[in-house]
Amino acid sequence: MALDAYTEATDEALLVLYGNGDPSAAQILTRRLAPRVLGYASRLLGGDRAEAEDVTQEAMLRLWKQAPKWRTGEAKISTWLYTVATNLCTDRLRKRRSVDIDAIEEPADDTPSAVDGMIQADRATALQDALNTLPERQRMAVALRHLEGASNPEIADILEISVEAVESLTARGKRALATALAGRRKELGYGED
């Protein structure tokens, strides 16, 4: 089966196949990359799924259009996609600020009271709430480093800053998260000790 053979192929090889007119490559690439972009965009946009889907669709469309011009060996496709998604999210966040500052979702202080042994999904929600309290760039850096698994040089490329600036952003972001989540330590299944 062609699809089975393609699952082992690299992102770049699949994009070249797509650019050469192969109809199966897009399916594999979409299944592989779109959920990651969607998750990342969703984190940056405060968990707004509909907006995150719009960003993902636009980012993927730009990837398809880029395929014939893609220069192999220059950049990782995931890094390129995260860069596009970051820029699209930045635009949307900027618009949100200019349109209605009250529309920005506040960190949820009134999340359902938790019991010991809270499930992973609730921790993920709490993390998202805490991420929402971070300044935009810190949120991006922390999400890329600790949730998307990007390296510091990759993040530097995506955010167009130095590696030192990335280290500073992630360190400050982590510290802010640790503070924001500390207040909910008990309800999230950690002891206060």
Partner 1 sequence: MAKTETDLLDDAQLEAFFEAGREDVPELSDSFMAALLQDADLAQPQLAALAPPRVKRSLWQDIIAQIGGWPALAGMATATVAGVWIGFAAPDQLETLSGGVLLVGDYASVDTIYDVQDFAPNYFGTDLLIEEEG
Binding site for partner 1 (CB under 8 A): 18-21, 23, 26-27, 30-31, 34-36, 38-39, 42-43, 49, 52-53, 56-57, 60-61, 64-65, 67-68, 120-121, 123-124, 126-128, 130, 146-147, 149, 174-175, 177-179, 181-183, 185, 188, 190
Smallest separation (angstroms) from partner 1 to the CB of 91? 19
Residue 91 near residue 57 (C-beta atoms within 8 A): no
Nearer residue to partner 1 within complex by CB, 13 or 61: 61
C-alpha pair distances (Å), 86 with each of 155, 158, 190: 11, 8, 33
Q: Write the burial class of residue 131 (CB in 10 Å: 0-12 exposed, 13-18 middle, 19+ buried).
A: buried
Smallest separation (angstroms) from partner 1 to the CB of 1? 18
Nearer residue to partner 1 within complex by CB, 97 or 186: 186
In 3D space, the residue among 142, 137, 143, 176 whose CA is nearest the CA of residue 159 turns out to be 137
Residue 131 near residue 142 (C-beta atoms within 8 A): yes
Smallest separation (angstroms) from partner 1 to the CB of 102? 26
Nearer residue to partner 1 within complex by CB, 23 or 99: 23
Residue 37 near residue 81 (C-beta atoms within 8 A): yes
Smallest separation (angstroms) from partner 1 to the CB of 25? 9
Q: How far apart are CA 115 and CA 50, in angstroms?
A: 30
Nearer residue to partner 1 within complex by CB, 18 or 159: 18
Q: How far apart are CA 142 and CA 173, in angstroms?
A: 6
Smallest separation (angstroms) from partner 1 to the CB of 98? 28
In 3D space, the residue among 111, 150, 149, 151 whose CA is nearest the CA of residue 128 turns out to be 111
Nearer residue to partner 1 within complex by CB, 62 or 100: 62
